[in-house]
Amino acid sequence: MRIIEDLHTHTYYSHGKGSPRENVLRAAELGLSAVAVSEHAGGNLFYGVRGKKLGRLNSELRALKKEFEGKILVKNGLECNVTGFGKSDIPKDRSAYDVIILGYHKGVAYTNRFAWHIFRESFGGKSTPRRNAESIMAAAEAGKADIISHPGLYLAVDIAYMADCCRQLGILLEINSASLSMSVQDIRTAREHGAKFIIGSDAHTPERVGDFAAALERAREADVLSDVVNIEL
């Protein structure tokens, strides 16, 4: 088995430890064909990358693409945040980006009553997995996301509904190797509904880039390895 690409890695631009170049070097050392630096987007109040800092990151990635040409494909990614019902901070101009990841995260300033919805749910109110999944998928559709990161992390989701949307929209569900947010049963359900999967390391240090071990074990257990798009069996 070979890992083709790791599209979910972080650096010191957000709350990770290494530089973009160190992530790329690690991926090249592992023999990956491609790697993305996919930093937290600006909607995250604590470590979202925005403004001039985002500009610096984008130009650093452009330089790395050139430097590593012919060795490894460097991709510019962004891990965006759901900010409300059907809303996200996916940039309108996506031209700088090769891959857009969308996930539900804490520490985001929510709009359109989503804050109240989340507040109620996190303090023991009635859980509404279908509504949550609808909010995330509507945001993913509007922003044309490529990947949903760690489905079910911090917020319960209706995985069957999510998988149906992903199949229809051509969006991948991530089996996140740092946060195993989907159970074996969730993954099986998603596959039954036609979803395809991508494994992401969600590395916050260069050493963890391409570390797919935990996700692979879970995917193996759920018997969906042939539906994971970024490994070669």
Residues that bind Zn ion (CB under 5 A): 79, 103, 149, 202
Decide whether 1 or 45 has the Cβ nearer to Zn ion. Answer: 45
Decide whether 134 or 174 has the Cβ nearer to Zn ion. Answer: 174
**Residue 63 main-chain phi, psi, to 5 deg:** -65, -40
- DSSP annotation of 201: -
Among candidates 73, 62, 96, 67, which has minimal Cα distance to 5?
73
To the nearest whole angstrom, how small is the minimum distance from the Cβ of residue 192 to Zn ion?
25
Which one-letter amino acid corresponds to residue 192?
E
User: How far apart (Å, rounded) are the C-alpha atoms in residues 227 and 194?
Assistant: 9
- Tell me whether strands 147-148 and 172-176 are parallel, antiparallel or unpaired: parallel
To the nearest whole angstrom, how small is the minimum distance from the Cβ of residue 39 to Zn ion?
8
Decide whether 149 or 205 has the Cβ nearer to Zn ion. Answer: 149
| 81 contacts 108 by C-beta, under 8 angstroms | yes
Decide whether 84 or 200 has the Cβ nearer to Zn ion. Answer: 200
DSSP string, 78-92: EEEEEEETTEE---S
To the nearest whole angstrom, how small is the minimum distance from the Cβ of residue 68 to Zn ion?
22
Three-class DSSP category at 34: strand
Decide whether 17 or 188 has the Cβ nearer to Zn ion. Answer: 17
Which residue is listed with tokens 């749910």? 121
To the nearest whole angstrom, how small is the minimum distance from the Cβ of residue 178 to Zn ion?
8
Decide whether 82 or 168 has the Cβ nearer to Zn ion. Answer: 82
To the nearest whole angstrom, how small is the minimum distance from the Cβ of residue 126 to Zn ion?
25
Decide whether 1 or 109 has the Cβ nearer to Zn ion. Answer: 109
To the nearest whole angstrom, how small is the minimum distance from the Cβ of residue 81 to Zn ion?
8
What value, to the nearest 5°, has the Cα angle with vertex 193 and ends 164 and 170? 50
Contacts of 92 (CB under 8 A, 6+ apart): none
Which residue is listed with tokens 């359109």? 112
To the nearest whole angstrom, how small is the minimum distance from the Cβ of residue 149 to Zn ion?
5
